[in-house]
Structure 1
């Protein structure tokens, strides 16, 4: 029994030694000081059909006493730098960019991608392929289209945030416009319609001419794409209608003017849900937007007593008409004029009528502009504010 116990212990020790040998340890570790942490990337058209890749590199504190920095808004040093390189493809440009950086490029912290308008009009699918295919790039990175060169946008020095990537990331979280990630964009490009939309940004004019870069880029509307090519722009007011159709409305203020009164009443939309209900009857394609919203009154310029439930109830149809007005404006510009299905009509018809869709999907570009939009809008005013 004693010999058997010793034998079992010996076998146990042998197995433990074998397991230790198989441990990988830290042989492939990457120290932070050896990495160029990319927080944002921009894509511009370059000469000779090349693409220019510009990156915003974040330098961690303690990354070295001789790190190259940019002047910040407070007169100190912002621990970021901008570098660019051109190539035949994004991957080729990245390889050339690596030659200009002493540290290894690391894409794991990239939160923002910016395409210049000129490049977006030529098509972005082949460039998105790099973003989706690279193993370390995030699928939740935000994508934008800029009216100015992406390189110029990335050189801005925001007054409040660390760098521009933080600014655009925070603005996207406000949900005041479209919030499109790389994953969502890829899904739209391979969707039933193949059309997509991206937030449209432009540089906010600086307050001081002495520091032209001390400002931010902000969203002013939406860039509309037919397949992967940009075909036009809609402003932020029309974008609000698009958000209702896409069931992406989270926050918003709606102002109405009650009849036979002076002044306006503004409400804050706190909750909203929308659903597309497709219908095909006698060869006619129609779609109904069923929406339900809840709002609070945030300002009352009129002499109406909004604390009276009857008065508050009378305002709800006015809200419904104002919401439908915004949606109709989006429908007229995007559906009738641009003929781009960024609302998700194709997916709605495909889900409900798969057999008909498989027969007619090749004619969708002809069918979509004539799809009739109907409304089933329900608005509720929950609270009237503190003042009564």
Structure 2
């Protein structure tokens, strides 16, 4: 029993020493924590001070759309469309020009030797801080585009407030100022109308990032959508083609659709053909399309094989064809493919002979697929592109014909089986 008691007391002494050591370590740790807490507390206070450089929205002038024109004496004119917040929430329908409450925007114009100078002078006209972070659209006037837009692009790309998803367009044979002063019947802000038109996938949609990349890419001529004013708003009218930062020509609507097919950007559209054997019309609504380009070198020149697969539905049939007959569907598919081929062929010829500009990114495809050959072609691609032979392989598949095989107005004997 004595030995057990001694052992117990010995263990208790050891335990007390351990607790003492732990207590000492705990005190030292607490002391170190207290020494670190003050700097940490001060650091937290710094970050809890809030947005020290904030600007209230009531102190901002928000630009939604920018226009750039060529003024007299080689000056630059910028036209800024600025949001009028008190009237932006007005829900009155109809033409904004007829509203008693006024427009949800106003337009300011300033001329200068370059865009930076114009922006600085424009700020002097505003009681609020001018910001461009909410800019949706940039429209370049025809005359300025023809004289060169390099300084405009330099200004826009250097400004940290410029968003890369801002759409860039060219005013179709007119000044940008005319477009920025045009109201839209559906949208309170004209900039929103232009933006939604670009998002509709019915025409070419080029944003700032796309345009700058085309300017910096060898073997590619930059393009941008063209827009014009109508009585009730805006409409896309084709494509503007650039070389060395200067506008060199336009593509019409049909040529623009061919361009979108070749660039694999065709999302939706309608192809109307003559009914086989008649002058009646059949319309095919494009659902989806896929394009692949395969380059090769033949007889010392670039040869481009273009493979296009398009799927669509019959959206209108004014002919006497019975669409329940698979043979008639095959005829429509073939005639639709022939019409697409003719449209693309004409556009390729126009780009090679008249424009002499590679708007289809053929050079970029050669660079990716044939990098060794491109090393010798890159310096003379401007001469080689017009000589490029193109073979079109087009396939059209009709997926649906609608609820009718033929028109309701046709009699049984008039239907072509």
Give the TM-score of the pair, scaled to structure 1: 0.91
Name the SS for the 2:288 alignment partner.
strand
Matched, 1:226 2:211: no
Q: 5+ residue gaps in structure 1?
A: 64-69, 207-214
Alignment-derived partner of residue 214 in structure 2? 188
Q: Counterparts of 1:43 and 1:267 in 2: how far apart (Å)?
A: 39
Alignment-derived partner of residue 278 in structure 1? 295
Alignment-derived partner of residue 31 in structure 2? 7
Q: Counterparts of 1:365 and 1:62 in 2: how far apart (Å)?
A: 52
Q: Counterparts of 1:266 and 1:259 in 2: how far apart (Å)?
A: 13
| Deviation for aligned residue 1:264 | 1.6
Alignment-derived partner of residue 14 in structure 2? none
| Deviation for aligned residue 1:307 | 2.4
Post-superposition Cα deviations, 1:172-214, rounded to whole Å, max 9, x if no partner, equal: 112222111011000111111352111122221x2xxxxxxxx
Q: Counterparts of 2:403 and 2:35 in 1: how far apart (Å)?
A: 76
- More helix per residue: 2
| Of 366, 381, 390, the match for 1:349 | 366
Alignment-derived partner of residue 107 in structure 1? 132
| Deviation for aligned residue 1:21 | 3.0
| Deviation for aligned residue 1:155 | 1.1
Q: Counterparts of 2:255 and 2:247 in 1: how far apart (Å)?
A: 17
Preserved CA contact (<8 Å) 2:96 2:184: no
Name the SS for the 1:244 alignment partner.
helix
Matched, 1:241 2:229: no
Which has the higher mean CA deviation after the structures are superposed, 106-115 or 168-177?
168-177
Aligned residues: 373
Post-superposition Cα deviations, 1:31-69, rounded to whole Å, max 9, x if no partner, equal: 111111110000011122210111000122389xxxxxx
Name the SS for the 2:249 alignment partner.
strand
Post-superposition Cα deviations, 1:118-152, rounded to whole Å, max 9, x if no partner, equal: 00001112211111111011001111111222122
Give the TM-score of the pair, scaled to structure 2: 0.85
Alignment-derived partner of residue 92 in structure 2? none
Matched, 1:203 2:220: no
Post-superposition Cα deviations, 1:293-326, rounded to whole Å, max 9, x if no partner, equal: 1100111111212123332233211111111111
Alignment-derived partner of residue 147 in structure 2? 122
Root-mean-square deviation (Å): 2.0
Preserved CA contact (<8 Å) 2:288 2:312: yes
| Deviation for aligned residue 1:276 | 1.5
Preserved CA contact (<8 Å) 1:41 1:53: yes
| Deviation for aligned residue 1:372 | 0.8
Alignment-derived partner of residue 92 in structure 1? 117
| Deviation for aligned residue 1:257 | 1.7
Matched, 1:340 2:388: no
Higher Cα radius of gyration: 2
Alignment-derived partner of residue 22 in structure 1? 46
Name the SS for the 1:377 alignment partner.
strand
Alignment-derived partner of residue 410 in structure 2? none
Alignment-derived partner of residue 153 in structure 1? 179
| Deviation for aligned residue 1:170 | 0.9
